[in-house]
Amino acid sequence: MGIPGFPLHKLRHYFASQMSALGVPEADILKMGGWETDHVMKNVYRHSMMDKEEQAKREAAEKLRRAFFLSFSGQKMNPFLF
């Protein structure tokens, strides 16, 4: 079939990571993924949550950089750029 082999638990991991990244509530991911407790589920997609946090930090830093740069360059700040 041309489909590479992989363990099914990796598909479950991918599912939880993608649902988390899309903002699906944890309770729904827990139920759809078949986990009995959220402990295991949270460990599965913890990296996804960390990735989202890192992205938010980068975006905030970029906004601050732009505001700082514009304030010293004498340009008017456009609030729609932020």
**Domain ranges (residues) in the chain:** 36-82
pLDDT at 43 over 70: yes
pLDDT in tens, 53-64: 788 888 889 988
Strand, helix or coil for residue 46? helix
Q: Are 77 and 67 in contact (CB under 8 A)?
A: yes
Instruction: Report CA-CA distances (Å) from 68 to 59, 74, 79.
Output: 14, 10, 13
Q: Are 22 and 16 in contact (CB under 8 A)?
A: no
pLDDT in tens, 14-29: 888 888 878 889 899 8
Q: Which two tokens stand for residue 8?
A: 């099914």
Half-sphere exposure at residue 63, Cβ-oriented, CA atoms within 13 angstroms: 11
Q: How far is CA 52 from the centre of its chain?
A: 3
